[in-house]
Structure 1
Amino acid sequence: MATVMDDDPSVEFHAFFERHHAELARFARLLTGETEAGDDLAADALLALWHRWDRVRATAHPVAYARGVVAHLARSRLRGTIRERRRVALFWAGRSHHTDGPDVPAVLDLQDALRALPFRKRACVVLRHAFDLSEKDTALALGISVGTVKSQTSKGMAELKRLLGEDRATALTPTRMRTAGAMAEGGPR
């Protein structure tokens, strides 16, 4: 059940904003792998919440609703980015440009590995391990079942192990996941 903090919706929303903006921005940064995009997505999500605040404040879990909005916006942004990259690749495919091969780093860091995961797996791994959310809270935020959260988190962690190597992936802790998010923001906090 939603907790009403004040009769004035603008005061209540302001308090919600102050309490959850940083978390929503960090979530968006981890989903997109881009600091500025994460900040923009959090701002866009909060603006959308403000426009529907009467409905949002009546929900049982306004924060889960907010996370769902961020996840939806991040997914849309990533799809747009993929479409744009395909257009650029098609443009350059007609050009005579020779490379000896891709410049692949010897070791992938956690941010690169997270970006390599499909969106749903990444979202589940980030919410479960970087935000320490329960399976139920993760399911609420993403609008999926608890069973899907379990399978996507398990598959996502298996992919991280493949990308990072067994030793490095096994050493992942919530603190290291949060540090990766802080690094995406421009440095540890």
Structure 2
Amino acid sequence: MVDEDGFREFVRVRLPRLSRAAYLLAGGHAQAEDLLQGALIKAALSWGRISKAQDPEAYVRKILYHEHVRTWRRRRWLEHSTDRVPERAQQSDEVSQTVLRVVLQEALAKLTPRQRAVIVLRYFEDLSEADTAQVMGTSVGTVKSQTSHALGRLRKLAPELAERFVEVGS
């Protein structure tokens, strides 16, 4: 018997965090909605087992990550932006923050799905290396190397973001 009320309560409480993670993984609102919907459908089908887990949110985030990779592998397309963000000149803080968000979104879109997932989990979800490794189903060493590669790539793609990302251990 499925605990529908428990699942609905879980989604109600955790939806903002899961939506943000899906958006950062997918790179767009429509894609994030599709990604999150697919992950929540899988979670709902297994909710009886997931709800008994020590951390159901981590389990659902893992489903979200795997859905993201599965979708990417199935489609095998790369997004190419055609417009560049213009040089900044005398911008207000709000405009400056908006430009940084756009630059970050474009830079994240150019990372591999695994690199993007590492950045999202480590820096936006604030997970430890061990927790990130668990969510991704990989080793801590792989998380460390993927983080290093992803940060290096972000520094090349968007040098204006370099001060936002600090190497682990610095």
TM-score under structure 1 normalisation?
0.70
Supply the AA of the counterpart residue of 1:54. G
Instruction: Give 1:171's aligned residue.
Output: 163
- After superposition, residues 1-189 of structure 1 pair within 5 angstroms as 9-82=3-76, 103=82, 105=84, 109-165=103-159, 168-172=160-164
**Is residue 85–residue 103 contact of structure 2 (8 Å, CA) maintained in 1?**
no
Give the paired residue count: 149
Identity across the alignment (%): 34
Supply the AA of the counterpart residue of 1:105. R
**Secondary structure, in 3 states, of the residue corresponding to 2:164?**
coil
1:9 CA drift (Å): 2.0
Supply the AA of the counterpart residue of 1:160. L
1:103 CA drift (Å): 4.9
1: CA distance, partners of 2:82 / 2:10: 44
Question: Structure 1 pair 128/57, CA: closer, same or farther in 2 (3 Å)?
Answer: same
Whose radius of gyration is greater, 1 or 2? 1
2: CA distance, partners of 1:63 / 1:103: 36
1:170 CA drift (Å): 2.3
Runs of 4+ in 1 over 3 A off after TM superposition: none
Any gaps of 5 or more consecutive residues in structure 1?
A: 1-7, 86-101, 175-189
TM-score under structure 2 normalisation?
0.77
**Is residue 154–residue 162 contact of structure 2 (8 Å, CA) maintained in 1?**
no
**Secondary structure, in 3 states, of the residue corresponding to 1:133?**
coil
Supply the AA of the counterpart residue of 2:164. L
Question: Structure 1 pair 149/16, CA: closer, same or farther in 2 (3 Å)?
Answer: same
**Is residue 124–residue 149 contact of structure 1 (8 Å, CA) maintained in 2?**
yes
**Is residue 66–residue 141 contact of structure 1 (8 Å, CA) maintained in 2?**
no
1:19 CA drift (Å): 1.7
**Is residue 118–residue 132 contact of structure 2 (8 Å, CA) maintained in 1?**
yes
Task: Say which structure, 1 or 2, has more relative contact order (CA 8 Å, 6+ apart).
Answer: 1
Render the CA deviation track for 1:9-63: whole Å, top value 9, x for unaligned.
2222122111212211211111111111111211221121111111112223321
Root mean square deviation of aligned Cα: 2.5
Any gaps of 5 or more consecutive residues in structure 2?
A: 87-101
